[in-house]
Structure 1
Amino acid sequence: MKKVSIIIPFYNCEYVDQAILSVLNQTYQNIELIVVNDGSTSYTEKIYPFLHHINLYIEKTNGGTGSALNKGIEYATGEYFAWLSADDIYAPDKIEKQLKYMESVAADICHTAYSLIDENDHVLTPSIGKHFEDRLSFLNQLKQGNFVNGSTIMMKMDVLDQIGVFNESLLYTQDYDLWLRILRQYSFSYLDEPLIQYRVHEEMGTKRFGNEMEEEITFVQQQHHLHVEMMILKELIQSNIGKGGDCMTVLLDARTSQNASFENSINVPLTAGPVLTGIVGLNTTGAAGAVTTQFGGTVSIQPRPGFVGVTGITINIYRGEDPTGTLVYSATENLNVPLETGPEPAITIVSFEGSDYQVADPDDLLIYSMYVQSSIDGGDNTLNRVGPESFNARVYDYNS
């Protein structure tokens, strides 16, 4: 029997005893229950009666749901990961049914339908969930917002090994961010049966922090926008081929501008004004129409000795040879350099990737340039570019 590690992150939740009991009452036996107390000041006494039945109980300082889940994952020994919010309840056969289904369809990650209950366990809605006919429909819906309930999830631990764990800086959307990252390599399976009860109550985060959640949702969507659009484009191409179309993707050209190949191979102060660090010319001869360029790169920066405070770098990519061209990408990485940096300040490697979609009627030579500058007013000479440093681009022709 495969072991399933179930993690319950707990913070001042009066329903935690019901969540724990629902895990202990599972029909599937090979379960590892990990409860992570994320600095709670209330209701901790509701955990005490179950301590002899919990496989691992962890207490930590408050850091948010993502940090609590990551702490549990750090100690988990199961082949599968599942998560139960402290105010929700598993159906008794949740793990058994979901694992059996996942094995039957060779799924790496799976979510299920769920029902809504109130503070008194009364069922408000018997079943919520939606089956999508294909990955394209799933992507288009998740692009709009997160409909995957975290407590319904089960996934192989291998997925987290490949993708990484929850982003602890996100206090409300750590799950949404992880789903979007997982989609780059995996597809979600769906079991259309309500196997958890999702509790609606006045103390739940969606009611207490609605405005903050909306801001964070927008941030996550912006962070993943280019990746999601590229995945959708890929599915559209595959869909057209599957329907008998002659759509194909043609790589027209790929180039790299390698400014510095090794660490500490250059030592160039970062200035307030834009400095050219990479330029590529892509051959688009023979393109049937609009083309799409994917680009990425790396800049390595190091605080100058003796500097303390906030500084940072802005990376701009232009379609053209200089900043008079079309700005197609901009990213900023800020650093807070502490007083104690040691004898040698740490090097930060800033990586980026982006796309320039549907460039109509390109010239035979499509030029992209990369410029960097300080992101902070008065930030001249607070950082050095030290290498490695590179800029690469690939141009594709999608025609049908």
Structure 2
Amino acid sequence: MTTPTHSSRQPAAPLRVAAIGYAFMGKAHSNAWRNVASFFDVPAVEQAVLVGRDPVQVAEAAAKYGWAESATDWRDVIDREDIDIIDICAPGWMHAEIAIAALEAGKHVLVEKPLANTLAEAEAMTAAAAKARKRGVQSMIGFNYRRVPALTLAKELIAEGRLGTVRHVRAAYLQDWLSDARSPMTWRLRKETAGSGALGDIASHAIDQVLFLLGEDVTEVTGRLHTFVDHRPGADGPEQVTVDDAAWATLTLTSGAIASVEVSRVATGQKNSLKLEIYGDKGTILFDLEALNELGFLDATVPVREQGFRRILVNEPEHPYLEAWWPQGHIIGWEHTFTHQIRDFLRAISEGSEPSPSFEEGLNVQHILAAIEESAAAKSSLIQLSNTNESAHATEGA
């Protein structure tokens, strides 16, 4: 009888994660950390610590979301030697301080978009990420809509030349959660905590999609911002709103293509509608986040009598990310984008490769947001942009 042999190779220790923030984004990220290894081949992870300011509430959230323990001081958690990854789900005004401290402590960092509240903070974060990367410490910004399978498929079709030369893009991200003027004041409506309103909150997503899908840079910007409800009910009476309710921008891309971007948090009846239209000389792609399993595609190279938009139901195993989920025909949802995001982040850490979108890419979006604000303040003057990607990488090599 032959005695079975066992490999002497020991499995790698799980990567231990600490998430900072337990509200909306903290809940979405927790769900992804809890489920990613159940569906994808990724390094093992442990949900070690959930961090928040209120000790009772964060403890309750930690137990509910699957975290081993809770804490109230993120600095103490970053200093712990048993923590490998810091996932920042806190408001934007905290991003820079936490991310830089975590990177300097040798922790891999995932941070929610936008990268920061100000351009200066974003530049400091990018410099810290570049320095940490030389030591094998990875960082990524959470533009989760890049991980919608239909949009990843759209990028592939564009890269394959199925649209030919892209001429113009329309991107509209519309919500209505602030349509009622009686909606109360929150940190998202104060410039000192939110940085900006609809611009940083949802225009950042729309702009990142334009860059992601086309693989180009923005060279010129015009923009406008508007606040329709300038006061909201506060704890001690009406409070002034110091950020925008809506934003509009026209972007010129390196190829000469033009992108129009419109975002609003007061678009009555629109719940979470990110619509994208990409028009080329050989075809067109349509997408709506409220039907995220579908992609509209028109092939203009076939005879005119055969042309027309066709609906691609993006849920086949051959489609991006979907080999891990359900049998074909069974749709997935918004929460899956975060699972895909963490899958890609963990694989990059395991392979020692740079994840995307990097902090440099987040900084590029931040430059565009700042240019929109500058143009709006100057009453629609044209703002020319240099290649911010090149300047970001120059920072990395410094």
State TM-score, norm by structure 1: 0.23
Higher strand share: 1
Greater Rg by CA:
1
Higher helix share: 2
State TM-score, norm by structure 2: 0.23
